[in-house]
Amino acid sequence: MMSEKLNSNNSRVNLSKNAKVNIVALGDSLTQGVGDPKKSGGYVSRIKTQLQKRGYKNVQSYNYGIAGQRSDQINARIQQNKNQLTNQLRKANVIVITVGGNDLLQSLQKNALISSDSAFEKNMDVAIKTYQNNLQSLLSHVRRVNATAPTYVYGIYNPVYVYFPNVTKISQYVDKFNVITSHKVKQYRKMHFVDIIALTYGQFKTKDQREKLENSNKTISINPFNLIELDGSQGEINNYISPDDHFHPNDKGYDFMTSQLLNAMKKNNDIK
């Protein structure tokens, strides 16, 4: 494991503008691009365009996102070389991963009707441990397939905060999963965490704006985990989230994800 571990930044720029850039993106619906009104593949097509604008002449992107998949299912696709995923990973010189959202959502939905706080927390503790183990296995397999490509792993966000700003339990577990992901990522060489928690708050960027939202929030008599019950006739309250499902990023949301990835790539000296 020591050959995989010990994250370190390289002082030299990893990607030459004249060399071929192979971006392999894998993960869940955020990689697939669900919610993207342009139907162009979310952040994957956008980061390709941004690199081309910066003078990278030969950029290829490969989108291996599948909606609804958990960390263990993404990992299984690598092990099984589904649709040549493993082969493409070997040739990648940039890897991007979205993971964790479905692990958390499915765990919350499974335990949503438990009335006992202690029983809920006990079950969620098990879910957290399971995610830790599955994520470590996933990241280890990525590094075994490709030991050198800079790899960027997105965090997750709370898509329903604006509807349930006083339901703190969801955001608390989003934070816990993000801590797990960021800590695991740091254990591997040239892996980096990409924070997108700002999508939780959308246009409600300041503390005052959030306090007003919390104070004006009306009681909504639906299960916060059953997003389909939210009334979409008035659009979406969060300016960064798709009105189609109140969950995935819209055009503005995917632009934000792309800018966060681009900033991380610059910060870690992988691009000029």
Q: Is residue 122 within 8 Å of 86, Cβ to Cβ? A: no
Q: Give 143-155 pLDDT, tens digit per residue.
A: 999 999 999 999 9
**Of the given ranges (111-125, 178-192, 221-235), which has the lowest mean pLDDT?**
221-235
Q: Is residue 131 within 8 Å of 179, Cβ to Cβ? A: no
Report the alpha-carbon distance of residue 266 to residue 272 in Å, rounded.
6
Average pLDDT over the chain reads 90
Ramachandran bin of 187, using left for φ above 0, alpha for ψ from -120 to 50, beta for the remaining angles: alpha
Tell if the pTM clears 0.85, that is, is over it: yes
Q: Domain map of the chain by residue range?
A: 20-267
DSSP 11-33: SS-SS-TTSEEEEEEEESHHHHT
Report the alpha-carbon distance of residue 272 to residue 257 in Å, rounded.
19
Q: Give 195-209 pLDDT, tens digit per residue.
A: 999 999 999 999 999
DSSP character for 241? Answer: B
Predicted local distance difference test score (pLDDT) of residue 16: 86
Residue 250, classified by CB atoms within 10 Å of its CB into exposed (0-12), middle (13-18) or buried (19+), is buried
Give CATH for domain 20-267. 3.40.50.1110
**Of the given ranges (104-108, 115-119, 154-158, 220-224), which has the lowest mean pLDDT?**
220-224
Q: Is residue 257 within 8 Å of 40, Cβ to Cβ? A: no
Report the alpha-carbon distance of residue 162 to residue 187 in Å, rounded.
34
Phi, psi of 21 (to 5 degrees): -110, 115
Helix (H) or strand (E) holding 123: helix 117-145
Predicted local distance difference test score (pLDDT) of residue 3: 41
Other beta carbons within 10 angstroms of residue 166's beta carbon come to 10
Strands 151-154 and 58-65 turn out to be unpaired
244-to-65, 156, 173, 254 alpha-carbon distances in Å: 19, 19, 24, 15
Residue 152 tokens, joined: 């960027």
Strands 20-27 and 58-65 turn out to be parallel
